[in-house]
Structure 1
Amino acid sequence: MIIVDAHQHYWQPSRGDYGWLAHAPAVLNKAFLPADFHAQREAAGVKFSVLVQAAPTEEETRYLFELAHIDPAVVGVVGWVDMEADDVGARIDALIRDGGGLLCGLRPMAQDIADPDWLARPSLDRAFDCIQDCGLAFDALVGMPQLPALCRRLRRNPRLSVVLDHAGKPAIADGRFDQWTSWIDELAQHPPLHCKLSGLLTLLGEPVHEDAIEPYVADLFAHFGAERLMWGSDWPVLTTHADFSHWLHVAWMLTERYAPGSQADVFAANAARFYALDIDLPVPDFAGVSP
């Protein structure tokens, strides 16, 4: 079966625009590039991936376009644009042009912005309208503090194609569940919204066992179904807690537990459809199966 990684990163700290790395685990403060990842991805049987921005600059998005030409497995790029710029429409058009078909979405690093209500600001209306009009997806990199603003944004832009990165970063290490699941319940009422089955292991604190993610995964399947979930590795951030193949195995087993037989959707088809990726996926054979 073809597997699509809906969320992976490359970065080169010497570029100087990854400010968040100063506060990240030391093991992440180095270059992670195609040559560092190819063997792991191939060994795990993952054929394609979506490359996601890791710096709040348009220059880094263009750098990712360059890396995508080096790495043939990359079939889409989720970039960054200055969403508060007066000429945001022209900036998005330029990124689409420079990407040559690679740009499939945009992602502000909302979790790092001091104002938790930033996503709901009217000053961003123009940017969201442009994203929607251009047929791009919006990756919501948010944590618990930003979820209320995201809900308000979705009420303002009901047709926006949104994917919630890393399940909205629930407080798994603290065992808090109720507040997160109430926000997930509201977000799930927005039909175009999808959710990434990604980034959960890195939310664990010591000595919390990885089994602690299961109630959250179960809740995601209950709210979104297998039709609106897509698997992502979040490599190389993942490497602080697990290797690539291990997370793929864990996610695969949990998917089989809560949505038996739906791996083709969760691990490939949903991402391909959501991001409009130019890849050929096998058509399931339903011959002899009753409707």
Structure 2
Amino acid sequence: MQLIDTHQHLILSEALRYSWTDGVPAMAGRAFTPEDYGALTKGRGVVGTLFMESGVDDAQYRDEARLVAGLVGTGGMLGQIASCRPEVEAGFEDWLQECDGLKVRGFRRILHVVPDELSQSAVFRRNLRLIGARGLPFDLCVLARQHGLTEDLLRACPDQVMVLDHCGNPDIAAGAFEPWAAGLRRLAAFPNLYVKLSGITANCAGAVTADLLRPYVAHVIDCFGPERVLWGGDWPVVNIRSSLPEWIALTEALLAGLTPAERLRIGRGTAEQVYGL
């Protein structure tokens, strides 16, 4: 497959602080660099990447985007998805304007680590519409229990293209397929929403196999169709239960039954459309 990795994290611990990694044994106390990523993906079909904001400590999210801007254009990096704070009115438009010069292709605010009410405010929704007015997508990182809140947000911002990260985070370890599947079906009814085939191995317990993941991936494709599915590696978070080379191999196995055109669409075509690559 040809893959554009739309979810390439980096842990640049010499310059930035990532407190959340302290409780993740697979990541704690380590840096994860572009050179590490390049070694893992060499010869595996990754033809380009988008850096995904990596959850730096709150005071440094702008510093992260400024630092990463200098990496775009190297190692196949095509741009970045920067962090933002739509819940804060003061300075939000200034940040969007600065990001015009930082090779930003989209924005994200992780919503499963903040109160549910945050995304429901008028300020948050108004600021999302400002992102949409610039022709840029917004990545949604939510848990399956937050699908209803996501519906509300999509309904309030019909002109904002959004990308649902990690297949909407099914709780695979708990076998909670049905509630996730029903929520995903409802979300797929919104034409401005795309879904990212990424991050689901971290939600597993024990061995991660194609047979375990197949019903989840099949449901994602059935709900959205290949034209609204794009791929992400989620490295190095993927190391929690798997590895990036293993996830690439699993992706190839899980999509083997699709046509070459459908695999190309999921691997890179949808990403090129959504992020303007």
What SS is found at the alignment partner of 2:139?
Answer: strand
1:201 equivalent in structure 2: 201
Q: How does 1:177-192 map to 2 (within 5 A)?
A: 177-192=177-192
The residue number in structure 1 matching 2:81 is 78
After TM superposition, give the deviation of residue 217 of structure 1 in Å. 0.6
SS at match of 1:117: helix
Q: How far apart are residue 129 of structure 1 and its match?
A: 1.5
Residue 158 of structure 1 aligns with which residue?
Answer: 158
Of residues 200-209 and 215-224 in structure 1, the stretch that sits farther from structure 2 once superposed is 200-209
- Deviation digits for residues 58-108 of structure 1 (CA, Å, limit 9, x no counterpart): 111112212224x240102000122213221121111112x1xx2011001
Partner of 2:96: 92
Structure 1 gaps of 5+ residues are 278-291
What's the offset of the Cα at 1:26?
Answer: 4.2
Mapping 1:109-128, distance limit 5 Å: 109-113=110-114, 115-128=115-128
Corresponding residue for residue 260 of structure 1: 259
Residue number in structure 2 paired with 1:50 = 50
Preserved contact between residue 69 and residue 80 of structure 2 (Cα < 8 Å) = yes
TM-score (norm. length: structure 2):
0.92
Q: For 1:141-169, what per-residue CA distance to the aligned partner results, in whole angstroms no more than 9, with x for missing partners? A: 11123322111010000111100100111
Provide the C-alpha distance between the structure 2 equivalents of 1:45 and 1:255, rounded to a whole number of angstroms.
14
> More deviation in 192-201 or 2-11?
2-11
1:22 has 2:22 as partner: yes
**Matched residues, percent identical?**
27
Q: How is 1:246-257 mapped onto 2 (pairs within 5 angstroms)?
A: 246-257=246-257
**Distance of aligned partners of 1:121 and 1:264 in 2 relative to their CA distance in 1, 3 Å threshold:** same
Tell me how large the CA RMSD over aligned residues is.
Answer: 1.7
In the TM superposition, what is the alpha-carbon distance from 1:246 to its structure 2 partner?
2.1
- One-letter code of the match for 1:6? T
Q: Is the 8 A contact 2:22 2:28 kept in 1?
A: no
Equivalent residue, structure 1, for 2:66:
62
Give the 3-state SS of the residue equivalent to 1:27 in structure 2.
Answer: coil
Secondary structure of 2:21's aligned partner: helix
Counterparts of 1:136 and 1:208, CA distance in 2: 34
The AA in structure 2 aligned to 1:240 is I
Q: Structure 1 runs of 4+ off > 4 angstroms?
A: 207-210
1:39 deviates by: 2.0
**C-alpha contact (below 8 Å) 2:11/2:32 kept by paired residues:** yes
The residue type paired with residue 136 of structure 1 is L
Kept in 2, the 8 Å contact 1:28–1:237? The answer is no
Larger deviation: 79-88 or 187-196?
79-88
Q: Which amino acid aligns with 1:15?
A: A
SS in 1 for 2:132: helix
Distance change (3 Å), C-alpha of 1:11 and 1:67: farther
> Which whole-Å CA distance do the structure 1 matches of 2:172 and 2:178 have between them?
11
Instruction: Indicate if the aligned counterparts of 1:28 and 1:236 stay in contact, CA closer than 8 A.
Output: no
**What is the TM-score with the length of structure 1 in the denominator?**
0.87
Matching residue of 1:287: none
For residue 38 of structure 1, report the CA deviation from its aligned partner.
Answer: 1.2
Q: CA distance change for structure 1 residues 112 and 29 in 2, over 3 Å: closer, same or farther?
A: farther
Give the distance between the partners of 1:47 and 1:187, measured in 2 at CA.
Answer: 30
Contact 2:138 2:163 in 1 (8 A): yes
SS of 1:249's partner is helix
C-alpha contact 1:137 1:160 (8 A) present in aligned 2 = yes
Q: How far, CA to CA, are the matches of 1:160 and 1:150 in structure 2?
A: 13
Query: Using the alignment, how far apart are the partners of 2:121 and 2:19 within structure 1?
Result: 24
- Provide the rounded CA distance (Å) in 2 between the counterparts of 1:117 and 1:216: 28
Counterpart of 1:138, as a letter, is F
